[in-house]
Amino acid sequence: MQWRRLAEAALELDLGPDELARVGLGPLAAAREWKPATVALYSKVARYGGLSLPRAPTPEPDPLELDLRPLTELRGTDPEHVRSVAWCALALAWPAPVGMFRSLRRDQVHAGARRLVLRTDGGEWSVAGANTAWHAWETVRERYPALAASPWVLPALRRGPGLDSRIGGRLSNQALQVTFGKHAGRTAQHLRAAAPPSRQAAAAELAAAYRDLSYDSFRRLALAAGAPPVSARGVVRAARSVARTTRRAQRTG
C-alpha cells in the first residue's frame, strides 16, 4: 500500500523510477507537504522497492521529553483504536522495535493480576500499566472470529491489496508504522478538542508534537525516560538524548 502511494505521488510529478532515484523525495515532499517523519518512512519504502535513495533519518521529536500517556488511554471500542492503545501501552514499558511487535504472538503475552509478562527468545519482561488496554483489546477481538483466531498481538483488521493479505494476518512493518502515525494524529485531534480553556495552550503544544511523532521516536522517548531496552537498536540514540537533556539541565541550573 505504501509503495503504491509513493508511486502515485511520483507519477503526479511525471517522475519515473530513474528520475525519482536521481532527484530524491524532495519534490514529492514539497508537493504533498510531507512532514519529516513521513519522508523518513517513504525513504524506507523506496529502498525496500529497490530504489537507491539516500537514507532519511527519522527526526528526533522536540521536545526530547514528551508525555506519551495519552496514547495509552482508551476512548472507545473501535478495534483500530483499541489495538493501537494496547500497542502503545505495551511499548511504553517494553519499547521493542516495530519488527518485534510485528512478530509478537499472543501466547507470548501472559496476563497477571497487576502486570503482563512477555516471554520471547530474547528473555522475559514484566510490563506494568498495560493490563487495562490489553484486556480491552482481547475483549474486542472476541467479537470477530478472524481476530479471535489470529495468533498475532497486532493482527490486520482488514484485507490489504496483497494476494496473501487477510483479516487476522500479520501486518508489515510499514503498515504498523502508518497505524501508529494515524493513532498519534487522532490522539492529537482529541487532545485539542477535549482540553478545557485553561489547558488549550498545553494541549495544542502536545498535539503538535504528536502530529510529527513516529513509532521509532516514541520508542526512543520511552527508552530515554527509563524503560528497559529490549534490543540494541535505538539504545545508543536514547542514551544520547538523556545526555543532551542532562547537559541542558546543568547549563540552566
pLDDT digits (tens, 9 = 90+) for 31-82: 887 777 777 777 877 777 777 776 666 665 554 578 999 999 999 999 999 9
Task: Give the N- to C-terminal CA distance of the chain in Å, as an integer.
Answer: 49
Residue 215 backbone zone (phi > 0: left; psi -120 to 50: alpha; other: beta):
alpha
pLDDT single digits (tens) 99-118? 999 999 999 999 988 899 99
User: How does the average pLDDT of the chain come out, rounded?
Assistant: 84
For residue 50, what are the contacts with CB-CB under 8 A and spacing of at least 6?
A: none
| Grid cell of 141 as nine digits | 477481538
Altogether, the residues listed in the chain come to a count of 253
Q: Return the exposure string of 20-46: e unless at least 16 CB atoms fall within 10 Å of the residue's CB, then b.
A: beeebbeebbeebebbebbbbbbbbbb
Q: Which of 64, 63, 119, 65 is nearest to 96 (CA)?
A: 119
| 30 pLDDT above the threshold of 90 | no
Measured in degrees and rounded to the nearest 5, phi and psi for residue 124 equal -125, 135
pLDDT at 253: 47
- On whether the CB atoms of residues 108 and 119 are closer than 8 A, the answer is yes
Please report the domains of the chain, with CATH numbers, ordered by start residue: 2-48 (no CATH), 69-246 (1.10.443)
- % of the chain surpassing 70 pLDDT: 85
pLDDT of residue 55: 67
Least confident of 196-200, 206-210, 249-253: 249-253
Q: At CB < 8 A and 24+ separation, what contacts does 132-138 make?
A: 132/74, 132/89, 133/72, 133/74, 133/82, 133/85, 133/86, 133/88, 133/89, 133/90, 134/86, 134/89, 134/90, 134/109, 135/111, 136/74, 136/77, 136/82, 136/85, 136/86, 137/82, 137/83, 137/85, 137/86
